[in-house]
Amino acid sequence: MPDIATWKKIGIMGGTFNPIHTGHLLLAQWAMEEAGLDGVIFMPTGNSYMKDKEEMLPGSERLAMTQLAIQDRECFSCSDLEVKRGGNTYTYETLEALRSMYPQSRLYFIAGADCLFNIEKWYCPQKIFENCVLLAASRSGAPMEALEKKRCELTEAYGAEILLMAFPNMEISSTDIRRRRRLGRSIRYLVPDRVREYIVRNHFYEGL
Ligand code: ATP
Ligand code: MG
C-alpha cells in the first residue's frame, strides 16, 4: 500500500467508474506528469444523484473494478470514502475529508472538460474550489478556447485555481463500454484485462 501521507501533491480522480476504463487511467497518468503529482487516489462515487440509476452497478463492484485496474501501480491508490458513505456523495465533502486526512498535502482534483462545464451545478462549488486545484483535461468536443473562457469565468466567480491540460481525444466512455456489452461486442483494450475478465465473469452490463 502506498503511503499517501508522504505525497505532497495528491491527485484525486473522481468518477462513477461504471466501469473504469483506459481513458481514466491515461488521464490520471497525464495529470501526474502535467502537474508533477506524487500520486493519484481514484475515488468511485457512492450512489450519485445525477446519474441514471438503471445501469449503475453497486459501489462495491465499481470499487472492485477500480482496485483491479490500479493494483500494479505504486503511485495509484483507491479510496472507498464515497462508496462507504452511501447516499448522495458531494465532492466538497470528500475534499474536506481528504484535507483533514492529509493536511500537509495539496489536492488536485482531476476532471475531464465535461466536468468543468458542469461544476457550478455541483453542490457548493465554492467549497470545492477552496479545497483543491482543479486540473481539467480537454475531452472530445470541447476546444481549448472554450475551456480557457470557462476557466476565466470560474476564477473570477469563485477565485478558483484551475489548470488546463491538453489531452488527446479519446472516444472512450463507460457509456459506450456498457453499450458494447449490451450488444455482445468486445471491450478488450478499452478496459484493463483484469477488469474485462471481472466484467465478463460476472455478466455485468449484459442485456440491460
Ligand atoms: P459515463 O459515460 O458513464 O458518464 P465516463 O466515461 O464519462 O462515464 P466517468 O466515471 O463519468 O466516466 O468520468 C470520470 C472522470 O473521467 C470525469 O472527469 C470525466 O470527464 C473523465 N473522463 C472519462 N473518460 C474520459 C476521456 N475519454 N477523456 C477525458 N476524460 C475522460
Ligand atoms: Mg461521464
Q: For the full predicted model, state whether its pTM sits above 0.75.
A: yes
Separation of CA 153 and ligand 2 centre (Å): 22
Separation of CA 15 and ligand 1 centre (Å): 7
What ligand 1 atom has the least distance to the C-alpha of 13?
A: 15
Q: Are 22 and 190 in contact (CB under 8 A)?
A: yes
Lowest mean pLDDT among 19-28, 84-93, 172-181: 84-93
CA angle 206, 66, 160 (to 5 degrees): 115
- For 1-43, what is each residue's pLDDT tens digit? 788 999 999 999 999 999 999 999 999 999 999 999 999 999 9
- For 34-78, what is each residue's pLDDT tens digit? 999 999 999 999 875 555 566 899 999 999 999 999 999 999 999
Separation of CA 49 and ligand 1 centre (Å): 16
Q: Is the CB of 62 under 6 A from ligand 1?
A: no
What is the distance between the alpha carbons of residues 73 and 76, in angstroms, rounded to a whole number? 5
Q: Is the CB of 187 under 6 A from ligand 1?
A: no
C-alpha cell at 168: 488527446
Under the banding of pLDDT at 50, 70 and 90, the label for residue 145 is confident
What ligand 1 atom has the least distance to the C-alpha of 173?
A: 6
The mean of the pLDDT values for the chain is 92
Q: Is the CB of 39 under 6 A from ligand 1?
A: no
- For 111-124, what is each residue's pLDDT tens digit? 988 888 888 888 89
Separation of CA 5 and ligand 2 centre (Å): 29
**Read out DSSP for 104-143?**
TSEEEEEEEHHHHHHGGGSS-HHHHHHH-EEEEE--TT--
Residue 120: its pLDDT value, please?
A: 85
